[in-house]
Amino acid sequence: MVTDLKTIIFGLLITFKTGYGQDFGYDGNTGPDFWGLKYQGCNGGKLQSPIDIELNNVTEKEFPPLVFQHFDEPLETVKLENNGHTALLSIKQGKIPNVRGGPLNETYNFSQLHFHWGRTDDEGSENLVNNQSFPLELHMVLYNTKYGNFSNALYYDDGLTVLSFLYHKTIKQNQHYQKFERELPAVENLNATVDIIGFVSLDNFTTTDRNEYFTYKGSLTTPPCSEVVTWLEFINTIPLSHEQIQEFRFLSGARGKLNHNFRPAQARNDRSVYMNIPTLSSTASSSNDRSSSKLNAHSKNGRSSSGDLRSNCGVFVLLMFKYFYYIVN
């Protein structure tokens, strides 16, 4: 189904003309409350993102397994850039990762990934869980290959998927981010770019614990706010130290330091939010592939991950535990 073409074309013309567009921001008369004046798609849509995911208002559903290709291979050469709104990483040379399965009916190719953060470690993520924010959120944007490229995919309501990863703050630094953090100061200034050769795999940069996630139909969280996105919000979080998170706040935008860049949660309206909870048998083979953040959470807080994850009570307690344990660490 084709979306509102006038809305998308108008937004794309402005975006392409200005190089991701410097006519929107996160404060004052260029902030999210004013985006709708220039971008019709950001004003009054029924599928806008981000949202607040309420744990007592999700529908459990077991989707087919997600299949990730080239996520386990180091990236040959990537381009890191400051586009005035975020730190954005794209692949300049090498294999293009893709994903299929789960709620996705087609194969989606990697386009870029970027970040959202806040002034302090108590805020920053765009999607919320039970009205709780997280210090950082990574959005990995992929386009539906049946439309050929990212630009064409923006015209269709199944055109994009965003794989979203939330972060929790830890004392110990995440070693997989060392090269990224070394290069981040090189793009401190607006429109600065740097090439990075021999980047870590997307598996190492995010997490391989991707069996459990929320999914819903939504939009881009920046203008033109096109409602063409299938969101996957992964339950397992990524560890990062305060010092590593702080590096993002040194980036500069069109109006000075970009110390925050998150859109507030939008109305859920009558959308369904699903939570994929695989059967224990389907996840048993990957039990040794759990990330350290989940293991540390259970051991440090004296909690156990045993039991039927598909029971309503068990799921609620499990998710509350996973999402809030970083607050006390």
**Active-site choice (85, 114, 116, 168):** 85
Q: Where are the alpha helices (DSSP H) in the chain?
A: 5-18, 35-38, 150-153, 178-183, 202-205, 242-246, 280-283, 292-300, 312-324
- Other CB atoms within 10 A of residue 152 CB: 13
Distance in angstroms between the alpha carbons of the first and the last residue of the chain: 46
| Distance, CA of 254 to CA of 187 (rounded, Å) | 14
- Other CB atoms within 10 A of residue 203 CB: 18
Distant-in-sequence, close-in-space partners of 178: CB < 8 Å, separation ≥ 6 = none
- Identify the DSSP state of 299: H
| Distance, CA of 129 to CA of 113 (rounded, Å) | 21
Query: Residue 327 in contact with residue 135, Cβ under 8 Å?
Result: no
| Amino acid (one-letter) located at 155 | Y
Give me the residues paired with residue 132 across strands: 129
Report the Cα 236 to chain-centroid distance in Å.
Answer: 12
| Distance, CA of 14 to CA of 232 (rounded, Å) | 28
Report the Cα 47 to chain-centroid distance in Å.
Answer: 17
Q: For this structure, is 85 an active site residue?
A: yes
Query: Residue 219 in contact with residue 41, Cβ under 8 Å?
Result: yes
Active site residues: 85
